[in-house]
Chains A and B, each alone.
Chain A
Amino acid sequence: MNRAAWLAVLGAALVALPWVAGEFYVNLTSQILIAAIFAASINLLLGYGGLPTLGHAAYVGVAAYVAALLYLKVGLAHWLSAPIALLGTTLMAGAFGWIALRATGLGFLMLTLALSQVLWGTAYRWVSMTDGDNGLRGLTRPAPFGISLDGATAFYYFALAVTVVSIWLMAKFVASPFGAALQGTRDQPRRMSALGHNVGLIRWLTFVYAGFWGAVSGLLFVYYHKYIHPVSLSLTNSAEGLLAVIAGGPGTLAGPVVGATIVMLLKNYVSTYIERWNMLLGFVFVLIIVFMPAGLVPGVQRWWAAWRARRT
Chain B
Amino acid sequence: MTINRRKFLQGVGAGVAALHAPWVRAQAEPIRIGLLTVKSGPLASGGLDMERALVMYLRERNYTLAGRKCTLSVGDSAGVPAQARTKLQELVERDRIQILIGPLATAEALASDDYIRQEKVLTLSVAAADDMTQRKPNPWFTRGTSTASQCAHPMADYCYKQLKYRRMVVIADDIAYGHEMVAGFQRVFEEEGGKIVQKTFPPLTVPDYGTYLAQLSTKADAIYLGFAGSNGFRYLRQFNEYGLRGKIAAVGGMTALDEAVLRNMGDEALGILTACWYSAELDNPQNKKFAPAFRAEAKYDPGFYAAATYTEAAVLEATLNAIGGKIEDKEAFMKAVRSIKVDTVRGPVQFDQYGNIVGNVYIRKVERKEGRLVNTVIYTYPNVSQFWTYKPDEYLKAPPYTRDYPPAKNLES
Contact = CB atoms under 8 A, between A and B. Distances in A.
Query: Quick check: do A and B touch in the complex, using CB within 8 A?
Result: yes
Interface of A: 22-24, 27, 31, 124-125, 127, 132-135, 137-139, 150, 225-227, 229, 231-232, 267-268, 271-272, 275, 278
Contact of B89 (A27, A127, A137): A27
B76 A24 contact: no
Q: Which of A22, A124, A138, A225 has the most CB of B within 10 A?
A: A225
B76 A275 contact: yes
A2 B90 CA distance: 36
B24 to A, nearest CB: 26
Contact of B107 (A22, A133, A271): A133
Contact of A275 (B39, B111, B114): B39
B93 A24 contact: yes
Contact of A127 (B90, B177, B403): B403
A22 B93 contact: yes
Interface string B323-347: 0000000000000000000000000
Contact of B110 (A134, A150, A267): A134
B137 interface: no
A121 to B, nearest CB: 9
Contacts, number: 79
Interface string B113-141: 11000100000000001000000100000
A247 B46 CA distance: 33
A225 B81 CA distance: 10
A272 B93 CA distance: 14
A27 B107 CA distance: 21
A140 to B, nearest CB: 9
Nearest to A227: B111
Given A133-B176, A137-B113, A227-B81, A31 B86 contact: yes
Given A133-B176, A135-B81, A275-B39, A229 B111 contact: yes
B181 to A, nearest CB: 13
Interface in B83-100: 83, 85-87, 89-90, 93-94
Given A127-B403, A227-B114, A268-B86, 10 more contacts: A27-B86, A27-B93, A134-B107, A137-B111, A226-B114, A229-B82, A229-B107, A231-B81, A232-B82, A268-B83
B402 interface: yes
Contacts of A24: 89-90, 93-94
Given A22-B93, A137-B110, A278 B81 contact: no
Contacts of B106: 133-134
A278 B90 contact: no
Contacts of B83: 267-268
A22 B94 contact: yes
B174 interface: yes
B75 interface: yes
A131 B174 CA distance: 12
B76 to A, nearest CB: 6
> Which bracket fits the contact residues of B?
20 to 34
A135 B114 contact: no
24 contacts: A24-B90, A27-B86, A27-B89, A124-B174, A127-B404, A132-B175, A132-B403, A134-B107, A134-B176, A135-B110, A135-B111, A137-B110, A137-B111, A138-B113, A138-B114, A150-B118, A227-B81, A229-B81, A229-B107, A231-B107, A232-B82, A268-B86, A268-B90, A278-B40
Nearest to A271: B76
Contacts of B90: 24, 268, 272
Interface string B67-82: 0000000011010111
A138 B106 CA distance: 15
Contacts of A27: 86, 89, 93
A132 B93 CA distance: 30
Contacts of A226: 114
B110 A227 contact: yes
Given A133-B106, A133-B176, A134-B176, A227 B86 contact: no
A227 B402 CA distance: 19
A202 to B, nearest CB: 35
Q: Ordered nearest first, which 4 A-B pairs have the shortest CB separation?
A: A24-B93, A133-B175, A24-B94, A229-B81
Q: Which of A132, A133, A232, A268 has the most CB of B within 10 A?
A: A133
A227 B113 CA distance: 9
A59 to B, nearest CB: 16
Contacts of A127: 402-404
A287 B82 CA distance: 28
Contacts of A268: 83, 86-87, 90
Nearest to A278: B40
Contact of B82 (A23, A124, A150, A231): A231
Nearest to B201: A125
A239 to B, nearest CB: 14
A27 B110 CA distance: 20
A225 B403 contact: no
Interface in B262-302: none
A150 to B, nearest CB: 8
Nearest to B175: A133
Contacts of A229: 81-82, 107, 111
Contacts of A139: 114
Contacts of B89: 24, 27
